[in-house]
Chain A
Amino acid sequence: MLYDVLIIGGGIVGGAIARELSRYELRIALCEKEVEVGFGATKANSGIIHGGHHAAPDTLKGRLEWAGNQLWDELAAELGFGFERIGELTVALYDEQTPVLDRLLHHAAVKGIPGVELWTPERIQQEEPALSHDIIAAVYAPTTGVVNPYEACYALAENAAQNGVDILTGFPVLRLHWNGELWEVMTPGARLASRFVINAAGLYADQVAAMAGVGNFAIHPRKGQEYLLDKRLRGLVKRVIFPCPSPVSKGILIIPTYDGTLMVGPTAEDTTDREDRSTSAEGARTVFDAVRRLAPGINEKDIIAQFAGLRASADGEDFIIGPTARRGFINAAGIQSPGLTAAPAIARMIVEILQAENLPMTLRNDFVGRAPHPVHFAALSTQEQIALTLRHPRYRRIVCRCETVTEGEVIDAIERGASTLDGIKFRTRAGMGRCQGGFCTIRCMELLSRLRRLPMTALTKRGADSWLVCERQEAVNGDERAPGIEVGDA
């Protein structure tokens, strides 16, 4: 298969690039090594669209943070994923921290970010009464938003596919070879060829660059543990709360997620293992000790889930975006925080780079930017729910009772590409609530089994060796096949 542009990596960055490029008359492929897109840093982060004033204006991160921030309203409106500008406070607990606040105000002034202002302790208490009385000042930014990052990634990839991009999941890129005219891209199942290759491989971007012969940087994984809290605490804090940042991290935050539940984290721990997404008791302690200083009412008892993500930080701590010494090989690497925020701006930057590299770019006239918005039953009013279920019987069964997800939504997710339990969970929220899948797991498995025509024993949590169930001994021995293995297929 011959492409004009081949993107390596199906995270939010690769997804945004694919969708942006799909506006043009180009043959495009996106190769993702996992069975679904979005399973890297994109599914395990804080979900914050940063206000624009955190990173310094003279860094690439700083420019793209604010540029990206401004693109999210339109994207969310077109693609129908959850995004809301809920605002943020960066709070100072000691006098020594006030210079940090001054610096944020200065960044905002230089970048021209509207509405960023200093709040007094009285104002803070009035707006966020759950916050500690020890807070002496805060910088408020109305521009900060929260998003469901995986939803955004799925929406981008699906819309790209709708506009002709080949989304190739389960396609790890193993080798790259420039044959004088084209990049040959080797994956286990296929050899692909493309004029341009874009490296959006997240944690593995240094290895992919090395495959192209330009491995002149290293990616240092930095782990972030996050703790999701029971919905009992909904509304306790209304805005994203940042402490004053340190040089390596923005610190431990309180995040009212798009769905309303509170999340606290992340830690910032340098590690060498690119696959180590484990949480630890020390991590929990670090997070809750820090959070208690900001909001004394939050504690470990309310944890309903915990996870860790890995930031892909490059030497120098800035993004590495641009052409390389190898013709046609372009990096979008070192995309650590705020990479989610910046992703739509990174995509536009890639368009400019490709134009500068003389790739002819003609806008297509049949580009469809608006995607049908997925049904989200729980978010509908009672009247809307009545109307929906009257018309469509597929939404008449509740599959996930904690998040009230209907069978129809799970079927939609599978039809849109979910092939694993995590794929369903991140598209629909089924399994994310209090009971953590106790009720819905088997139901989701039955639906996957039926629609994908796979036995239950072939299903996985997230691909590879993450099998879920196995056959009974008797069934293995062949003398009695257990009933109900292909549930629903009968």
Chain B
Amino acid sequence: MITSNPRHLRGSYDVVVVGAGPAGLEAAVAAQDAGADHILVVDRETEAGGILVQCIHSGFGLHRFGQELTGPEYAQRVLTQVVKRNIDVVTDAFVLDVDRERRVKLMTQEEGVSLIDAQAIVLAMGARERTRAAIHIPGTRPAGIFTAGMAQRLVNLYGLLPGRRAVLLGSGDIGLIMARRLTLEGVEVVGVFELMPYANGLNRNIVQCLHDFDIPLHLSTTVVEIHGRDRVEKVTVAPVDANLRPQMERAWDVPCDTLLISIGLIPENELSEQLRLRIDPMTNGPVVTSTMECSRNGVFACGNVVHIHDLVDFVSAEAMLAGRSAGRYVAGAAPPADNVRLLPGENVAYCVPHTISTEREHTIYMRTRRPLEACSLRLTDLGGKVIYEKKLRYVFPAEMVNLKLRPAVLHHFHNGALRVDVAPRADG
């Protein structure tokens, strides 16, 4: 793994990439391929690689490398490409601010606070975990409440355990992986409680991390209170009704010393907000065009900072596009602007990118709001005419839907906006 490589930071860069996870690293490489000369990648951790560094389980890279890798292996592959090139990477560093003139206020171990000019910025800060406060669990504030990612870091990077008897709230992927990891470490994982009537993580994780270890998954059930003055002593859990309201008369107590929270990720949008980028309230990330450009010229974004991905492979694909676009922007070769807006319709929570062009090929990523079988994905113009339709066997909110769209499909379409629906098939 690498840490900082430049002996001296330049006063100005063609592209400054914020975040050295897979998104940032792939974007840096692609930016250079597209013609940018001086590129700086900044990361606040001591090692580059982002969250992958602590994901020591396998399941990464099937799409990108055609091979099942662990998180650190995937990160290493991407890093190797960066190291081979003349790209500056500075770790243990922090972007404090980016102003509208794309002047970056940077904190580094080498120089302290300094100001650097960038022609283009790529935001690749990833995501943070939702906390207990996001769902306002009442009760006490004892030690022993961790997000699943924090527990993962403790176990995998520090060789420490978060506790001895754990309850898991939420069935997000990191939580599921941690249920297995902790069980292997001898921690008693009492159960996983999920508010929704379906699991939030990938099906393969439910099977491999819970079923295989006999860890009970309680759907439509949530933690309603935390007890314990100094350390967690127990939690109260309750089933919820169809409106997700806890039924307190059916609540019960679960003794434990640890509560792990895995209720989802949220884009790390501090800088996006400082830059006053337009934010999509559904993704909590910036609104992006088909070149991954945000609402401010020369500012690009990719990876979990835009929307939460379930596979890193797609992060890589999105990041290469963002990096290439940043490189072209610097070279003055940006493609013509988009001409079609995508409007999330029935059972579609969001689409990324938010706009596309009828001239180019696109991959559109979207998330559905609820599970559905034998359905179809439809693009409809504002007049109600179906422009494109694709059959899907099933959809799950936990699994991102992606759609490759060739320019030919939109050849005769000049209408300005397309509604995207994932709905039961017309033929039933």
Instruction: Give the contacting residue for A396; candidates B107, B149, B157, B163; CB below 8 A.
Output: B107
Kindly identify, within residues 416 to 448 of chain A, every residue whose CB is under 8 Å from any CB belonging to chain B.
421, 434-436, 438-439, 441-442
In Å, the complex CA distance between A469 and B159 comes to 10
Instruction: Give the contacting residue for B131; candidates A386, A438, A466, A475; CB below 8 A.
Output: A438
Tell me if A304 counts as interface (CB < 8 A to partner B): yes
- A310–chain B nearest beta-carbon distance, Å: 13
Residues in B neighbouring A303, C-beta threshold 8 A: 133, 136
- Asked whether, in the complex, the Cβ of B107 is within 8 Å of the Cβ of A398, the reply is yes
In Å, the complex CA distance between A487 and B46 comes to 14
Segment at the interface with A among B108-116, B290-298, B362-370: B108-116
Segment at the interface with A among B5-13, B137-145, B330-338: B137-145
- Asked whether, in the complex, the Cβ of A436 is within 8 Å of the Cβ of B159, the reply is no
Residues in A neighbouring B131, C-beta threshold 8 A: 304, 435-436, 438
Residues in B neighbouring A475, C-beta threshold 8 A: 159
Nearest CB to that of B157 among chain A residues?
A484
- Asked whether, in the complex, the Cβ of A401 is within 8 Å of the Cβ of B94, the reply is yes
Nearest CB to that of A463 among chain B residues?
B230
Tell me if A281 counts as interface (CB < 8 A to partner B): yes
Tell me if B164 counts as interface (CB < 8 A to partner A): yes
- B66–chain A nearest beta-carbon distance, Å: 33
State whether A395 and B140 are in contact (beta carbons under 8 Å apart), knowing that A306-B133, A442-B150, A465-B230 are contacts in the complex.
no
Nearest CB to that of B154 among chain A residues?
A469
Residues in B neighbouring A485, C-beta threshold 8 A: 158-160
State whether A438 and B147 are in contact (beta carbons under 8 Å apart), knowing that A279-B138, A306-B133, A306-B136 are contacts in the complex.
yes
User: In terms of DSSP, what is the predominant structure of the interface of chain B?
Assistant: mixed
- Asked whether, in the complex, the Cβ of A395 is within 8 Å of the Cβ of B105, the reply is no
Residues in B neighbouring A465, C-beta threshold 8 A: 229-231
Residues in A neighbouring B425, C-beta threshold 8 A: none
Instruction: Give the contacting residue for B159; candidates A278, A441, A466, A482; CB below 8 A.
Output: A482
- Asked whether, in the complex, the Cβ of B230 is within 8 Å of the Cβ of A382, the reply is no
Nearest CB to that of A302 among chain B residues?
B133
Residues in B neighbouring A284, C-beta threshold 8 A: 136, 138
Tell me if A305 counts as interface (CB < 8 A to partner B): yes
Tell me if A357 counts as interface (CB < 8 A to partner B): no
Kindly identify, within residues 85 to 144 of chain B, every residue whose CB is under 8 Å from any CB belonging to chain A.
92, 94, 96, 105, 107-109, 111-115, 128-129, 131-133, 136, 138-144
Kindly identify, within residues 146 to 193 of chain B, every residue whose CB is under 8 Å from any CB belonging to chain A.
147, 149-150, 153-155, 157-164, 185-186
Nearest CB to that of B184 among chain A residues?
A473
Tell me if A462 counts as interface (CB < 8 A to partner B): yes
State whether A389 and B112 are in contact (beta carbons under 8 Å apart), knowing that A382-B105, A436-B132 are contacts in the complex.
yes
State whether A466 and B142 are in contact (beta carbons under 8 Å apart), knowing that A398-B44, A442-B153 are contacts in the complex.
yes
Scoring B residues 310 to 327 as 1 if CB is less than 8 Å from chain A, else 0, what string do you get? 000000000000000000
- Asked whether, in the complex, the Cβ of A460 is within 8 Å of the Cβ of B112, the reply is no
Nearest CB to that of B147 among chain A residues?
A438
A280, A385, A466, A483, most chain B CB atoms within 10 A: A466
- Asked whether, in the complex, the Cβ of B112 is within 8 Å of the Cβ of A395, the reply is yes
A386, A456, A469, most chain B CB atoms within 10 A: A469
Nearest CB to that of A380 among chain B residues?
B113
In Å, the complex CA distance between A484 and B131 comes to 26
Scoring A residues 279 to 297 as 1 if CB is less than 8 Å from chain B, else 0, what string do you get? 1110110000000000000
In Å, the complex CA distance between A469 and B132 comes to 19
Nearest CB to that of B131 among chain A residues?
A436
In Å, the complex CA distance between A227 and B169 comes to 22
Residues in A neighbouring B159, C-beta threshold 8 A: 472, 475, 482-485
**Residues of B within 8 Å of A, CB-based: how many?**
51
State whether A456 and B158 are in contact (beta carbons under 8 Å apart), knowing that A279-B139, A401-B44 are contacts in the complex.
yes
In Å, the complex CA distance between A484 and B114 comes to 32
Tell me if B270 counts as interface (CB < 8 A to partner A): yes
Nearest CB to that of B92 among chain A residues?
A397
State whether A278 and B139 are in contact (beta carbons under 8 Å apart), knowing that A304-B133, A306-B133, A456-B160 are contacts in the complex.
yes
Residues in A neighbouring B94, C-beta threshold 8 A: 397-398, 401
Residues in B neighbouring A469, C-beta threshold 8 A: 154, 158, 160-163
Tell me if A178 counts as interface (CB < 8 A to partner B): no
In Å, the complex CA distance between A398 and B125 comes to 15
In Å, the complex CA distance between A283 and B155 comes to 36
Residues in A neighbouring B109, C-beta threshold 8 A: 393, 396-397
Residues in B neighbouring A278, C-beta threshold 8 A: 138-140, 225-227
- Asked whether, in the complex, the Cβ of A382 is within 8 Å of the Cβ of B158, the reply is no
Tell me if A270 counts as interface (CB < 8 A to partner B): no
State whether A439 and B113 are in contact (beta carbons under 8 Å apart), knowing that A401-B44, A467-B143, A475-B159 are contacts in the complex.
no
Tell me if A123 counts as interface (CB < 8 A to partner B): no
- A444–chain B nearest beta-carbon distance, Å: 12
- Asked whether, in the complex, the Cβ of B229 is within 8 Å of the Cβ of A275, the reply is yes
Nearest CB to that of B155 among chain A residues?
A472
Instruction: Give the contacting residue for B142; candidates A232, A283, A300, A461; CB below 8 A.
Output: A461
**Residues of A within 8 Å of B, CB-based: how many?**
59
Residues in B neighbouring A393, C-beta threshold 8 A: 109, 112
Instruction: Give the contacting residue for A457; candidates B149, B160, B273; CB below 8 A.
Output: B160
Kindly identify, within residues 63 to 98 of chain A, every residue whose CB is under 8 Å from any CB belonging to chain B.
none
Residues in B neighbouring A279, C-beta threshold 8 A: 138-139
Kindly identify, within residues 185 to 234 of chain B, every residue whose CB is under 8 Å from any CB belonging to chain A.
185-186, 224-227, 229-231
State whether A473 and B153 are in contact (beta carbons under 8 Å apart), knowing that A456-B158, A487-B158 are contacts in the complex.
no
Residues in A neighbouring B158, C-beta threshold 8 A: 442, 456, 469, 482, 484-485, 487
Instruction: Give the contacting residue for A482; candidates B108, B114, B160, B225; CB below 8 A.
Output: B160
B147, B227, B230, most chain A CB atoms within 10 A: B230
Instruction: Give the contacting residue for A464; candidates B129, B161, B230; CB below 8 A.
Output: B230
Residues in A neighbouring B128, C-beta threshold 8 A: 434-435, 438-439
In Å, the complex CA distance between A404 and B140 comes to 27
Residues in B neighbouring A385, C-beta threshold 8 A: 96, 112-113
- Asked whether, in the complex, the Cβ of B113 is within 8 Å of the Cβ of A386, the reply is yes
Residues in B neighbouring A482, C-beta threshold 8 A: 158-160
Kindly identify, within residues 27 to 62 of chain A, every residue whose CB is under 8 Å from any CB belonging to chain B.
none
B129, B141, B149, B150, most chain A CB atoms within 10 A: B141
Tell me if A307 counts as interface (CB < 8 A to partner B): yes
In Å, the complex CA distance between A391 and B333 comes to 43
Residues in A neighbouring B140, C-beta threshold 8 A: 277-278
Residues in B neighbouring A306, C-beta threshold 8 A: 133, 136, 138
In Å, the complex CA distance between A305 and B225 comes to 15
In Å, the complex CA distance between A395 and B109 comes to 9
- Asked whether, in the complex, the Cβ of A401 is within 8 Å of the Cβ of B138, the reply is no
Residues in A neighbouring B186, C-beta threshold 8 A: 472-473
- A188–chain B nearest beta-carbon distance, Å: 17
Tell me if A233 counts as interface (CB < 8 A to partner B): no
- A410–chain B nearest beta-carbon distance, Å: 14
Tell me if A470 counts as interface (CB < 8 A to partner B): yes
In Å, the complex CA distance between A463 and B229 comes to 11
Nearest CB to that of A227 among chain B residues?
B136
- Asked whether, in the complex, the Cβ of A470 is within 8 Å of the Cβ of B133, the reply is no
In Å, the complex CA distance between A487 and B154 comes to 12
Tell me if A468 counts as interface (CB < 8 A to partner B): yes
- B282–chain A nearest beta-carbon distance, Å: 14
B residues engaging A (CB < 8 A)?
A: 44, 92, 94, 96, 105, 107-109, 111-115, 128-129, 131-133, 136, 138-144, 147, 149-150, 153-155, 157-164, 185-186, 224-227, 229-231, 270, 273
Given contacts A388-B113, A472-B155, 10 further A-B contacts (CB under 8 A): A278-B138, A304-B131, A390-B111, A434-B128, A441-B150, A456-B160, A462-B230, A470-B161, A471-B160, A485-B158
6 pairs, CB–CB < 8 Å, chain A vs chain B: A303-B136, A307-B141, A393-B112, A457-B160, A461-B143, A472-B160
> Closest 9 A-B residue pairs measured CB to CB?
A389-B112, A482-B159, A461-B143, A466-B230, A465-B230, A473-B186, A466-B143, A398-B94, A436-B131
